[in-house]
Amino acid sequence: MNAPLHVHLMNEIEPHWFEYLGSLVAPNVRLTYGPSLPDPASFQILVHGRPESQHLEASPQLHTLIIPWAGVPTAVRKLASQRGLAVHNLHHNATNVAEMVMALLLSAAHFVAFADRRLRENDWRLRYAIPNPSITLNGKTAVILGYGAIGQRVAAACRALGMRVMATKATPAPHVPDEVFPPDALEALLPQATVLIVCLPLTQDTKGLIKARQLALLPPKAVLVNVGRGRIIDEKALYDALADKRLHAAGLDVWYNYPTDEASQANTPPSVYPFGDLDNVVLSPHRGGAFNVEDTERLRMEALAELINKAAQGEPLPNGVDLLKGY
């Protein structure tokens, strides 16, 4: 049997989920959890979304940090890099984010939310509008920015709708069913995109990646969906393109302004611009990865167990983060 492996979980977790995780990991794994560090601090793997320096310095044996979701905060990247730690993500919610992409895409392309609001007021005119604002996706091209765990699931769903898929990815993606290009091919791809889907993480390289110039390269009647991060797309440029109808429609699950506490959750505008006044936008409060709690935690524990078991067996861990790139 391999040497014992101590894993400490600092994120809040219900006792029954901790027991479930324990039932999934190898016998040579010792699990501890709680907001306080164990004494003595001898863990080799720490599971924490936003650790501080004292958490990463407590155990001399620490070599791996697991972020229990996708993405790594900038401050954590710096601390982990200074400490020389390997950092890994969990992608347990990739399927659900991909489903949100398709919900936003179909709603935006067919003006479902707008039609719903109108019919609640007994207004049927959208049915008889000429030209009909809906666009057909079959036979069209989807350009997906970010061909990772989420992007590849989105690509499969787009293919099922009869779409051609072109995507960007920072690292090579051999033996995949779609056309995949390096990120610097972006401006060559945009004029071909009936649908532009943003699945990128927010990094120094992706912040403000899509500005007015890039939006102008999209063909008329293009639909944009963003489930990455709001600030990947310039806020004013996006609003202007939608307000001027240069973009046909958009489905947005990520934003520029978020509530800072529980009291502000009921009244926080997601942008300084009135996206909610536009008929061609479907708004969603960043809930693509948020689904039934039981499903969330079950999938999280199963994904976490997979990484822990690989570590316990001395195998390479998936979902590694390049700390320089941020993903």
Q: What does the pLDDT look like over 118-169, one tens digit per residue?
A: 999 999 999 999 999 999 999 999 999 999 999 999 999 999 999 999 999 9
pLDDT score at 296: 84
CATH 3.40.50.720 fits domain 94-283: yes
Q: Where are the alpha helices (DSSP H) in 198-292?
A: 212-217, 235-243
Max alpha carbon distance in the chain (Å)? 72
Distance CA(300)–CA(107), nearest Å, equals: 29
The two tokens of residue 285 are 């409060």
Third-level CATH fold of 5-92+293-312:
Rossmann fold (3.40.50)
CA angle in degrees (0–180, nearest 5) for 94-79-71: 10
Domain ranges across the chain: 5-92+293-312, 94-283
pLDDT score at 293: 65
User: Running DSSP on this structure, what letter comes out for residue 43?
Assistant: -
Distance CA(94)–CA(186), nearest Å, equals: 23
Name the pTM for this structure.
Answer: 0.90
Residue given tokens 């996708």 in the structure block: 70
Residue given tokens 């982990």 in the structure block: 80
pLDDT score at 267: 97
Q: What parts of the chain have a pLDDT lower than 70?
A: 1, 291-293
Q: What does the pLDDT look like over 292-315, one tens digit per residue?
A: 667 888 999 999 999 999 999 999
Distance CA(93)–CA(277), nearest Å, equals: 31
Distance CA(288)–CA(104), nearest Å, equals: 10
pLDDT score at 198: 98
Which helix (H) or strand (E) element contains residue 166? strand 164-168
Indicate the SS3 state at residue 158: helix
